[in-house]
Amino acid sequence: MVASQGPDAVFPPSASPSSRGSEDPIYHAAVIDLLGAVGYGEISAFERLAADGRMAPTLEDKVALQGMASAQYAKISPIVDRLREHGVDPYAVMEPFREAFDAFHAHTAPADWWESLVKAYVGDGLANDFYREIAGFLDNATRDLVLSTLEDSGRTEFVVERVRRGIEVEPRIAGRLALWGRRLMGEAFTQAQHVAAEREALSELLAGGHVTGLDLTTVADMFARITHRHVERMGRLGLEH
């Protein structure tokens, strides 16, 4: 199967893969890894959003976070189904990614409701950016599945409104939350590097010879774009990076 560049693809046509499909074992292993990572990411995001909802100052806020958690849940079963189609145990495939995601969440446990809100928004945004970038490297069917996990039903917009209003009422929280956003970003990159170091097929997909036109410079550009979008997101919250 040869991927065509859809309207959502962020990579130039030169990155279009020529050797993808089930006949390429490294590509196949990378896709399994990627779906496993996305799947466990969703499970752990559900768990964190649900737990952080307990810090909500109002019932309405709590329900909003429960809604964000449930939106994560809705994305799990398509991933599980696709992994089964690939003939693997979906939950076994997710296991290697538990450590990195759990470490991310352990190192970024929000101290209060504001930190929970910013984490929900920034974490969701970073994950979406990363998946959107990765999608450019994938065959059509896998790309469509990964892009379908990006559907933003506008649930996160309440975060923007809440944080901006919070800063208006209590301007002193802005500095702390700006630092918090930076820490979230740093921790996400740290854990992504751990995963890349440990999962050879995945990092080969990203940096190796399996995709024409893709090399370490391309990966550096990708991280630069993700950082850029993170800064934009912080700006929408009314926070400096």
Which residue lies nearer to a copy of itself by CB, 110 or 181?
110
In the complex, what is the shortest distance from the CB of residue 34 to a copy of itself, in angstroms, rounded to a whole number? Answer: 17
Rule CB under 8 A: is residue 103 a binding residue for a copy of itself? no
Rule CB under 8 A: is residue 73 a binding residue for a copy of itself? yes
CA distances from 97 to 13, 34, 91 (A): 30, 10, 10
C-beta atoms surrounding 65 within 10 Å = 25
Rule CB under 8 A: is residue 110 a binding residue for a copy of itself? no
Rule CB under 8 A: is residue 179 a binding residue for a copy of itself? no
Rule CB under 8 A: is residue 203 a binding residue for a copy of itself? no
Among 1, 2, 74, 179, binds a copy of itself (CB under 8 A): 74
Rule CB under 8 A: is residue 46 a binding residue for a copy of itself? yes
Rule CB under 8 A: is residue 47 a binding residue for a copy of itself? yes
Positive or negative, the Cα torsion across 115, 120, 124, 127? positive
In the complex, what is the shortest distance from the CB of residue 117 to a copy of itself, in angstroms, rounded to a whole number? Answer: 17
Rule CB under 8 A: is residue 80 a binding residue for a copy of itself? yes
Rule CB under 8 A: is residue 62 a binding residue for a copy of itself? yes
In the complex, what is the shortest distance from the CB of residue 98 to a copy of itself, in angstroms, rounded to a whole number? Answer: 8
Own/partner pairs, 200-206, CB within 8 angstroms, 24+ separation:
201/26, 201/27, 201/29, 201/30, 201/33, 202/30, 202/33, 202/34, 202/37, 204/26, 204/30, 205/26, 205/27, 205/30, 205/34, 205/137, 206/134, 206/137
Among 51, 167, 195, 196, binds a copy of itself (CB under 8 A): 51
* Under 8 Å between Cβ of 35 and 82: yes
- Tokens describing residue 55: 């810090």
Scanning 13-21, 49-57, 184-192, 222-230 for contacts with a copy of itself by CB under 8 A, the matching segment is 49-57
In one letter, which amino acid is 52?
A: D
Which residue lies nearer to a copy of itself by CB, 78 or 238?
78
CA distances from 164 to 36, 47, 113, 173 (A): 35, 25, 14, 11
Among 37, 94, 118, 239, binds a copy of itself (CB under 8 A): 94
Rule CB under 8 A: is residue 70 a binding residue for a copy of itself? yes
> Site for a copy of itself (CB under 8 A): how many residues?
24
Alpha helices in the chain (DSSP H): 25-52, 59-85, 90-94, 98-107, 113-135, 140-148, 157-169, 173-198, 200-207, 216-236
Binding site for a copy of itself (CB under 8 A): 40, 43, 46-47, 50-51, 53-54, 58-60, 62-63, 66-67, 69-70, 73-74, 76, 80, 91, 94-95
